[in-house]
């Protein structure tokens, strides 16, 4: 049963269905789902949690699959908090982890700045883009980073420079802090100023139109499921295996773009994970390449009865 508790400037939802908070629109319940009105309130709340409490920070849920057995920990909602977005000088932008990537792209365009257009193609928040070095249209997040602020399990906010991290294609590594117990709350980005002013929103619209022409939009998916292997494209490998339209339960490989898995007919998280595994196994067998998922899969698998069937 879902129970809401409202404390000072914070809401805690017990047994919250994660299908309400992920772009795949499926998944089990979280033990508790927390929405804070400010970063300071959130930091104080985190201090009160047991040191072994599992934490899952979630923005728009666009790269997360919560298994049907649910998440036995605390989910921290970043949307609606950490929402600062401001120019520090002519080419430097401070942005909170809870800001939508597309909003950041529009803000930079409005202020005549170059370099952030690709954020328009990232279906999530800035915090998630930092956590995985997200990219689109040939651009990536971390080459723009000057410094970040992180929040740790003790409720401390710490500034770290970009030099304290290593990054590569769709991943980052902390050289100093422990990223399993630190979470991004803001970032300072270095952009470049256009010499001649123009309406950058036109460029963004063109990029989004290109995306819409080649990728399924307006459907329940997580965006790209797999990273592109070096020198190749995941979508092409999957298509070459004849997997477009392959379905398991309510989950199906998109006919429009093979690196998308769509919740087409009330798919369970198990359906989606099974299809992810099937695609990996098939591409490995036929192409000799092991695809690595971009999506994070968390939580417990559904309980099974003695016959190996999911409990109803």
Among the options 117, 182, 273, 294, which is catalytic?
Answer: 294
Residue 38 known to be catalytic:
no
Nearest to 268 by CA among 27, 71, 65: 27
Instruction: Report the distance separating Cα 277 and Cα 73, nearest Å.
Output: 25
Among the options 23, 62, 224, 268, which is catalytic?
Answer: 224
Residue 296 known to be catalytic:
no
Among the options 170, 186, 268, 273, which is catalytic?
Answer: 170
The enclosing H or E element of 29 equals strand 29-36
For residues 222 and 261, the answer to whether their CB atoms sit within 8 Å is: yes
H runs (alpha helix) in the chain: 39-48, 101-110, 126-132, 200-214, 234-240, 269-287
Residue 224 known to be catalytic:
yes
Instruction: Report the distance separating Cα 152 and Cα 176, nearest Å.
Output: 13
Encode burial over 128-152: b for 16+ CB neighbours within 10 A, e otherwise: bbbbbbbbbbebbbbebbebbbbbe
Tokens of 239: 């298509």
Would you give the end-to-end CA distance of the chain in angstroms?
A: 17
Instruction: Report the distance separating Cα 24 and Cα 63, nearest Å.
Output: 9
Residues assigned a catalytic role: 170, 224, 294
């Amino acid at each position: 049963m879902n129970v809401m508790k409202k404390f000072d400037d914070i809401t805690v939802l017990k047994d919250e269905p994660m299908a309400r908070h992920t772009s795949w629109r499926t998944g089990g319940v979280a033990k508790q789902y927390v929405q804070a009105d400010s970063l300071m309130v959130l930091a104080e709340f985190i201090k009160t949690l047991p040191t072994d409490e599992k934490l899952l920070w979630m923005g728009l849920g666009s790269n997360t699959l919560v298994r049907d057995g649910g998440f036995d920990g605390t989910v921290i909602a970043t949307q609606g908090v950490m929402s600062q977005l401001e120019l520090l000088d002519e080419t430097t932008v401070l942005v909170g982890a809870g800001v939508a990537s597309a909003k950041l792209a529009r803000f930079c365009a409005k202020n005549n700045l170059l370099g952030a257009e690709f954020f328009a193609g990232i279906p999530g928040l800035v915090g998630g883009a930092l956590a995985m070095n997200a990219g689109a249209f040939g651009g990536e997040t971390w080459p723009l980073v000057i410094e970040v602020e992180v929040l740790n399990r003790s409720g401390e906010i710490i500034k770290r420079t970009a030099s304290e991290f290593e990054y590569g294609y769709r991943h980052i590594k902390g050289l100093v802090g422990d990223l399993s117990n630190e979470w991004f709350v803001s970032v300072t980005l270095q952009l470049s100023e256009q010499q001649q002013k123009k309406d950058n929103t036109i460029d963004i619209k063109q990029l989004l139109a290109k995306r819409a022409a080649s990728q399924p939009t307006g459907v329940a998916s997580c965006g790209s499921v797999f990273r592109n292997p070096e020198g190749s494209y995941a979508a092409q490998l999957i298509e070459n295996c004849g997997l477009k339209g392959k379905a398991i339960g309510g989950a199906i490989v998109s006919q429009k773009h093979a690196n998308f898995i769509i919740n087409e007919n009330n798919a369970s998280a198990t359906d989606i994970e099974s299809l992810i595994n099937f695609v990996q196994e098939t591409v490995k067998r036929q192409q000799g390449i092991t695809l690595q998922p971009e999506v994070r899969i968390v939580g417990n698998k559904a309980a099974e009865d003695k016959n190996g069937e999911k409990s109803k």
